[in-house]
Structures are given as structure tokens and as C-alpha cells.
Amino acid sequence: MSYQKFLECKKIKHIQSGFEIDRDQIHSILFDYQKDLVKWALKIGRAALFTMTGTGKTLMQVEYARQVYGKTGGNILILAPLAVSAQTIREAVKIGVTINYAHNQKETKPGITITNYERIDNFTPEYFSGIVLDESSILKSFDSSTRTILTDKFKQTPYKLACTATPAPNDFMELGNHAEFLNVMSRTEMLSMFFVHDGGDTSKWRLKGHARDKFWEWCASWAAILSKPSDLGYSDEGFILPELRTHEIVTPSEAPDGMLFAFEAQTLEERRLGRQSSFKGRVERAADIVNKSDDRFLVWCDLNIESDALRKAIPGCVEVKGSDSQEHKEKSMLDFSAGKIKCLVSKPSICGFGMNFQVCHKMVFVGLSDSFEQYFQAVRRCWRFGQKKPVDVYVITSEAEGAVVKNIKRKERDAMVMINSMVEYTKSFVMDNLKKAVKLDRTYCPDKSIIIPAWLKSEKGEN
């Protein structure tokens, strides 16, 4: 074997695990870029759509599920955040698809079923030929119990589609969890192949410089990354976002016991104490902004004491907290999206993922956590494709929370660099794969018989 042939055998090979359909078989309501992405995902079989908020992931998910069910006759399960299920069912009607909502396996019906992530333990994976994850960033955490359950329970599922705008909000290596769920490559394999330990800290990994192009080529073989249609050569008409106006408001902080002046909190404990001691001033400023306006508002908080105080300070607002029933959470979010509620008060971790809130163009953050993904997703509930008005975001923090604000801004800059890098590195590969619709896998190509050493053979000549 020549060295060149040896190197070819070591390459990651392209195979496909789905099926091919003609573009005109995809529902006509979808935009051209959506049709091509669905067509590509169907031929890949197990794929990811990492497209920006408002690019129509819901319709693409439903069309993918419809096509798989029509081709295989196998049942499909869609997993979504709370309240997004009802939104998905409503969207599906646009393309003539009926989706059944189920709380458990007994309530499933032949065809497409949707449920919430919280109820995944109530379902039998063997019943389904395909699974679709809406807001699949739930996979990003390496030690997440939900990630482990999804990866293990649906390991043998033939068709998988993962959809999110934030697949790796903090680090490229988080993409490994998506790759493992989709049966492309295990996270451990991905790290050993494309990454290296950064210094003496074995918990930090850095993308190998010489492997950068191959890494993104590999990612583009199973994931389509798109921030706007023009990234893949399509028209951006109707997808230009209005202005995002961020207003930073800083309230005074009381000096801690024994101190003359307030200081900027640095540790997590200091930040927590700083939020608790300053919540009254931040709530008053938020209530003043909301109560003086006739516009609808989303008000985001981080602590229960903030949520309770906001409910009392903003007449007529609807509060959604973690201890509320699933029914109350779902109804409140749907009512707000329908324009029936003027002000919704909640945490980004509860109402900040998946919902379309373009009915609103103003929001207030009554303080911030250190999670950039929660901040990004919360803002994108309103500032997304389809929004017609400029979006005003009021960020109210105390003097002690300066480090949190700086941290979020740093993460935002890093995330934008990451998103732009992902798009820039993958767009040529994705555009090529949209035409070829292939999937990368590793294939060994032996061309010689193994020679067993004599000392390994038994005296009887057996291997």
C-alpha cells in the first residue's frame, strides 16, 4: 500500500443514513433555504440545524418529521420546552400536519407526537423511528442528566434532528454532545481527534491549529450553521432585524457591614448577596419603566424575591415562577404570545427558550445572572426575524453587579466571534453538502490479510 493510499484510508469518509427526496416534495410554504436544509437533513438522516432564532426551525422540524413518517411509517417524537409544544402544534397546521400532544406513552398516537423535556421518562424510545429536539442546546452540558438520558435512550433511533440557535454558547467543544447524540462521534473521540489540553488544566481543551479546517469540515457534514439566509447564498429579504437598543441603568448599592463604600462584587457569593441587598431599588426602577408605558413588556428576573416584588409593584402583570403548575406556565406564555397579557414576569430559565414573542418589543432585566445563553435567548424572544419594531432592552443592575455585566459583555463578544467563525468556516462545506447531502463517518478500508505470529497459534495450529 502506498503512503498516499494509507492516508486516504485514515480519512473520515462520507456515507449517508437517510433518504433523498425531490425539492418539490417539500411543502411550498417553506422558504427556499428551508427546503434545502430539510432536504439535506433528510438525506443525512441524523443531523443538526444550528440556525438563528426566527429562521423557521419549527416549520423545518415539522416538515422533517412529516417526511420521515411518510417515508418509513415509523412514529416520530418531538421534544420541546414547556409551552413551545402548543406553539409547534399551531405552526404545524400551516402545512397540514396534525401533531398529537402526549403526557406519557399511553397517550401517543400513530404519527407525530410532541411532549416536553420534563416528561421524557414517560416514553418508550423503541416506539419511535425518529426524534426531533427543539432547543437542543439542552445537550450542551457534559454532566447534564437530561443529556445522558436523551443520548442513551435514543441511541438506536434511526432518524434524529437537533435544532437550536445556541449549540455551543461557551465553547466549541460543547458541539461534541450534539455529535454524540446524533451517533456521529463520541465526545471523547472528538476531543482526542481535534482538541488538545490547554496547559496543565485537563478540564480545558483547545482546538488544534492544524486541525481547524478539518474540524469545521467535519461539523458541516452533520450540522448546518446559519445566522441569516445569505450565509448560504440565499436572499435576506424579510430577515433584516430592526434596531436593538440596550439601556443600562445602574442603581446605588448599600455598603456592606463594616465598609464605608459599596464595592463591585467578584465572587459568586458576593454577587448573590449583592443582588439580594439591592433588589428593592432595581424592582422600583423596573416597575417605574413598565407602569409609565402602554407597551407590552417582558420582565426578566433571577431571584424569587425579585419576582414576588415585581408582581406586587406592576399592576395586572402575570408572574410565572418555577413552583407554578405546568398548566399555569404554559397558559401564561401562550396568552402573552397572543397579546392577551400586557406584562409577563419570569426567569429566563423558565420562559426564555423557544417561544415567539414578537408581539412585544420591550423588556427589562432586573439584574443579570452569569449565564450568557439565558440572556441571549431571553433577548431573542422579541428581537428575532419577524419583529417589525426596534427592540428596547433595559438592563437594571446595582453598583455591586458591575463584574456580572462585564462578564456577560465578554461572553457576548466571545459568542459573536464563535458564531461568525462557525458560519465562516462551515458555509462553503454546508453549501457543498446541501448539493451532495452526505454524512461523514470513519470507514476503515483494509486491503491485506492479517498475518498471525506463530507464537500466538496453539500447538494444534488453531488461532
pLDDT tens for 342-393 read 999 999 999 999 899 999 999 999 978 878 889 999 999 999 988 999 999 9
SS3 317: coil
For the whole model, what pTM was predicted? 0.82
Give the contacts of 29 (CB within 8 A, at least 6 positions apart): 59, 94, 95
pLDDT of residue 275: 72
pLDDT of residue 109: 95
pLDDT of residue 164: 93
Rounded distance, CA 207 to CA 179, Å? 16
State CA 243 to chain mean position distance. Answer: 23
Q: Nearest to residue 250, comparing CAs of 413, 367, 374, 371?
A: 367
Q: What is the pLDDT of residues 149-197, one digit of tens each?
A: 999 999 999 999 999 988 876 677 788 999 999 999 998 899 889 988 8
Tell the residue number behind the cell numbers 507464537, with chain if given: 455
* Strands 362-366 vs 343-346: parallel, antiparallel or unpaired: unpaired
The C-alpha cell of 170 is what?
A: 461557551
pLDDT of residue 90: 93
* Ranges in the chain, pLDDT < 50: 14, 258-261, 263, 438-442, 463
Rounded distance, CA 69 to CA 91, Å? 18
Rg (CA), the chain: 25
Give the contacts of 413 (CB within 8 A, at least 6 positions apart): none
Specify the amino acid at residue 362: K
pLDDT of residue 335: 95
pLDDT of residue 314: 97
Catalogue all structural domains in the chain, each as residue range(s) with its CATH number. 3-237+417-442 (3.40.50.300), 244-413 (3.40.50.300)
What are the residue ranges of helices labelled H in 113-241?
Answer: 145-153, 175-181, 187-194, 212-222
If phi > 0 it is left, if psi is from -120 to 50 it is alpha, else beta; for residue 442 that is beta
Mean pLDDT rounded to a whole number for the chain:
85
